[in-house]
Amino acid sequence: MTELTFPAGFRWGTATAAYQIEGAADEDGRTPSIWDTFSRLPGRVRNGDTGDIAADHYHRMREDVALMKDLGVSDYRFSLAWPRVQPTGRGPASPKGLDFYHRLVDELLAADIRPVATLYHWDLPQELEDDGTGGRAGEGGWPRRDTAERFAEYAGLAAGALGDRITTWTTLNEPWCAAFLGYASGVHAPGRTDPAAALRAAHHLNLAHGRAVQALRAVLPASAEVSLTLNLHAVRALTDGEEDRDAARRIDALGNRIFLDPVFHGRLPEDLVRDTAGLTDWSFVRDGDLSVTATPVDSLGINYYSPTVVAAGTCESPSPWPGAEGHVRFVPAPGPRTAMDWPVDAGGLYELLTRLRDELPGVPLLVTENGAAYDDYADPSGEVHDPERIAYLRAHLAVVHRALADGVDVRGYFLWSLLDNFEWAYGYGKRFGIVHVDFASQRRTPKDSARWYADVIARGGLPPAG
């Protein structure tokens, strides 16, 4: 096998999220997010884990940037903690909260690493979730339209403070998860199970994105890159039968086009509206909203881990697929699986990249998350051997290279994740990092995959297998 060389200037990065690594949950004025609250509810997170300390990145930031410098990454994708920057979700920014990000950005730039900031990676200030009509808890959050306006205000504050040094900004990370895992199935914060509210949340997240793009454009230099990151689903019908293909259509509408169509075409998918008519009439979409959601962006980030195989049938309730429960069942894909029990299938990433090439011509793409959790551990010598992760990464980078050869404008690849971290409802039981974290001591140990990725970056491509 020959070496697969990537284009000059290809962005080699890694990625994290604030609540998953920062810790310092109540320091320097940070207030609770919905994940702080959710993780304290009995039975919601494995072992009762919380992000109170996580990987303690707030206090070990310089050590972590040094790890990235050793890897040779050109870019680091991280998220700002909204309740650290704007503790109540309203009003002025917190100088102490911003100070951490000032120091992080300065440290990255000194290491010749481009900072890539995500404004929202699921840590909504709890006060906004509680800010319902009449002050009643449980009626606020993303199902409430005002949250989109609050997000735009926060975006402007963050860009005003950091936009002189951060040149790449992402509004939202995986709004599908925020809307449907948070408000439909309830397995993510805030843990609500209201499918109609979840559909409102999806629209208001799209609206928040558009308003934030406008707020960022008003503050940032014209050269800044403004983006959105979606966890698009590589949806496959189990058979070519009409009912299975209709199941795939439904999931494509709920998983992909509910965001792609408003953001890039200024419209709602007509079949989505029909499929969900029993839940909502979509009257929360007001005149002018879809022109806001379609405010142009400079690139699109794609997060991909595994494909989704569906057939006609039924799925469990409460489900993250409003309106699809009585029509769709999810089928385990064949092949090896990660510690998350997710199938390993790099072909799904190729399917998404080529689809976007055809559907969104002229929109540059970034693979903003890709990686795998395995049950790796430090051996008696202190080494962490993770050959399965290396094989996973190699396979997915190979299809990125193939997509480039087939005319897809892919500008970069961000490996998830730099560090083992708080893996949401799984707590600390799932390890995605290429750097092992002993959470008791906070000791960092680069795994074999970290050394492998550093070699890929140094070469500018994949070495021959063997």
Nearest residue to 199 via CA among 127, 278, 132, 136: 278
22 is an active site residue: no
The CA distance from 466 to 416, in Å, is 24
* DSSP per residue, 90-126: SSSPPHHHHHHHHHHHHHHHHTT-EEEEEEESS--BH
Contact 349, 369 (CB under 8 A): no
- In the three-class reduction of DSSP (H, G, I as helix; E, B as strand; rest coil), residue 144 is classed as coil
Give the separation between CA 69 and CA 38, rounded to whole angstroms: 35
- The answer to whether residues 68 and 418 touch, using CB atoms and an 8 Å cutoff, is yes
Tell me which of 174, 351, 388, 423 is the catalytic residue: 174
Q: How many contiguous H segments (helices) and E segments (strands) does the chain have? A: 17, 15
Identify the active-site residue in 107, 127, 369, 388.
369
Q: Return the residue matching tokens 């893996």.
A: 423
How many Å separate Cα 439 from the centre of its chain?
23
Q: Are 97 and 84 in contact (CB under 8 A)?
A: yes
Q: Which helix (H) or strand (E) holds 149?
A: helix 146-162
Measured in degrees and rounded to the nearest 5, phi and psi for residue 230 equal -120, 140
CA-closest candidate to residue 336, choices 403, 414, 391:
391
Give the helix ranges, DSSP H, for 232-363. Answer: 242-252, 258-265, 270-275, 289-293, 347-359
Q: Is 369 a catalytic residue?
A: yes
Residue 48: how many CB atoms within 10 A of its CB?
Answer: 12
Whole-Å CA distances, 185 to 153, 198, 313: 29, 9, 18
By three-state DSSP, how is residue 331 classified? Answer: strand
3-state SS assignment for residue 5: strand
54 torsion bin: left (phi>0), alpha (psi -120 to 50), beta (else): left
Residues identified as active-site: 174, 369
